[in-house]
Structure 1
Amino acid sequence: MSNDFKIIAYYLPQFHPFPENDEWWGKGFTEWTNVGKAKPLFHGHNQPKVPADLGYYDLRIPSVREEQARLAKEAGVYGFCYWHYWFGNGKQLLNEIIDDVHASGKPNFPFCLGWANESWKAKQWRKDGSGDVLLEEQVYGGVDEYRRHFDYVLDLFKDPRYIRVDGKPFFLIYKPQNFPKIEEFMDYWNKWIKEEGIADKVFFVGNLDDEGDYQKYIHMGFDALTLGRFLKVDYKFAHANTFKKKLWGWIRKISPFPTFTSYKDLLEYSFLENFESKEDMIPFIIPNWDHTPRSGKRGEVLLGSNPQSFYEHVLKVLKGVSKKKNKIVMLKSWNEWGEGNYMEPDLKYGKKYILALKKALNSFSAK
């Protein structure tokens, strides 16, 4: 297998009880609660999705994390990007898992952080956000807060398993547009990491909803950007005339079903040569998506995904990055079960998505 490609998989550390979830949702709530109670909403809807090899695991158990890493290695995944929830004023959630991974040295598997910098809400999944209840607010503060955050992350940056690009630690920011002083924040972190002698700077990656703000964020100082356009495979509608947009919006609003998006269409837009071929762009691969365990009929569902179509999707993206210096690809995701967006084995397909990724990497490196 080629060692040139670096597949970095988003990793959700939600699968264990913690006090805030108990308070907000009831004793013992985890992401598995939504996954297990999901119901099919239309004919042929594959719900609930049931984990196979790993079962309904608890991430506090080290052997579970070891097995996740073993499966990821089997698939050809280079490392995990743990979602990192730093809300400000020193408040963070779900850090117990990465803290234990760091302290124990296990699993021996590369990792980095993706800062999910948005408020947590009890959502009603309406487009305008009406009815949502704020649970934990994301605040940014000033220099003192930047330093407090940096000092926590610095300890992880020093871990020999932490993923680096050209010697710089990889740090992804999920919603850069939400951070009013993002340039100031990055300038301070770059200054401090150089003073610490860890690296010349942080390798900052921004996640964008579309390519329209690409130049803006590169000029701000991001080293790379990754696009989250996969659910805009209404992409063709995004550029439609006003009447078509309004008609599509009206249909979606009154429909008793979730919003359907074709996986075949996703393949068409999964690698756009004029963007993802740039050295400062990082494309993504996605096995599937079904948000209905969380959002019901207001959810988004990819239709037509299977291991073979995923294999074709991966091949297209690998071909697109093959001539780049840093052949990084984000895998969305390793274990987002509540979004139907996972690689881990389930009862329907077993390990077939894992084997499809492995096959794509092997077949490409054999060319």
Structure 2
Amino acid sequence: LDEVLQSGAPDFPFCLCWANENWTRRWDGCEEDILIAQSHTEADHAGFIAEIAPALLDPRYVRIHGKPLVIVYRLGQLPDPRRTADLWREYCVKTGVGEIYLAYVQSFERMPMGDDPSLYGFDAAIEFPPHRYPVQAELSQPLINPEYQGVLFDYVQTSENFIRRTWPSYKLFKGVMPSWDNTARRQDVSHVFVGATPERYAYWLRQVVEQTRRLHFGDERVVFINAWNEWAEGNHLEPDREFGHRYLEATQNGLGIRVVRDPQKE
């Protein structure tokens, strides 16, 4: 991040999401095999906003209604989310950053008072597939690996769950994911979403984009894709040997941008 800020490259919009959990050997920050622990004191929270303040002033930084977008991954880890939000807002106003736009990720934990971000001093919530609405797959044939103790999910039905989700009264930014298979990380206890294809991903993205265009306006027409390079989770847009650039092309299609293939590469 320091290099990006100092060099001014790449000339590409960005924003920051605080992964405020323990750094562990697991992707989800659970209390197993902790490498670096995350504490949550008021001093920690003050230090965080002070550290990212230079990024919030960068002209490339994503803004909503002119306010830099700051995202918190696990709101439930904050002892007093509203106090933290007030602390950050006050600091940013005093130091010249100005008003900030706070959003939290709807990950695997549920908030005690409900999902409405305003209850916690935040402005919006963000979907984070596959969390919250996964659908387990129904197997039509036995597994090849008798040692497998993981869980298979249905990508198509999961995407339909997210698409058909009732739109809440609070501000929500929709999310999609291209695929998910963390066998590389978890081996025989992995989670795999079967049925994921670039075409199905493009359909999911297209539906979400249309919903967002219909219900949001201006800077709030935002959609999140999980993820660019989560290779250990089998969840990435970057080209690979199996699909080449098809997930990137599917992203273009999902956004309504026509893809013209090079006939020499067909």
Q: How high is the TM-score relative to the length of structure 1? A: 0.61
Per the alignment, do residues 112 and 123 of structure 1 end up closer, same or farther by CA in structure 2, a change over 3 Å counting?
Answer: closer
The 2-side partners of 1:358 and 1:229 are apart by: 20
Residue 74 of structure 2 corresponds to residue 183 of structure 1: no
Which residue number corresponds to residue 203 of structure 1? 101
1:225-250 C-alpha deviation (Å, 9 max, x unpaired): 0133525544589xxxxxxxxxxxxx
In structure 1, stretches of 5+ residues that fail to align are 1-97, 238-253
1:145 & 1:361 partners in 2: Cα distance? Answer: 39
- Count how many residue pairs are aligned between Structure 1 and Structure 2: 244
Q: How big is each residue's C-alpha offset from its partner over 1:105-157, in whole Å with a ceiling of 9 and x where there is no partner? A: 100001111100001223599xx96xx23221101222x43332222111111
Q: Is the 8 A contact 1:233 1:261 kept in 2?
A: no
Does 1 or 2 have the higher relative contact order (CA < 8 Å, sep 6+)? 1
Corresponding position of 2:262: none
> Does residue 264 of structure 1 match 2:162?
no
Distance 2:123 2:109 in 1: 15
Q: 1:104 to 1:163 in 2, by over 3 A?
A: same
Of 291, 294, 304 in structure 1, the residue corresponding to residue 182 of structure 2 is: 291
Q: Using a 3 Å threshold, how does the CA distance of structure 1 residues 210 and 193 change in structure 2: closer, same or farther? A: same
Higher share in helix:
1
Residue 105 (str. 1) matches residue 43 (str. 2): no
> What CA deviation, in whole Å up to 9, does each residue of 1:315-348 have, x standing for no partner?
1111211121211111100111111110011011
Question: Within 5 Å, which residues of 2 pair with 1:28-177?
Answer: 98-123=1-26, 132-142=32-42, 144-177=43-76
Alpha-carbon distance in structure 1 between the residues aligned to 2:59 and 2:74 = 27
1:343 and 2:237 correspond: yes
Report how far residue 295 of structure 1 moved.
1.2
Identity across the alignment (%): 25
> Do the aligned partners of 1:234 and 1:261 also contact (CA within 8 Å) in 2?
yes
CA contact (8 A) 2:176 2:224 kept: yes
Q: Which runs of 5+ in 2 are unaligned?
A: 138-145, 259-266
Q: Distance in 2 between matches of 1:115 and 1:271?
A: 26
TM-score, length-scaled by structure 2 = 0.83
- CA shift, 1:221, in A, is 1.2
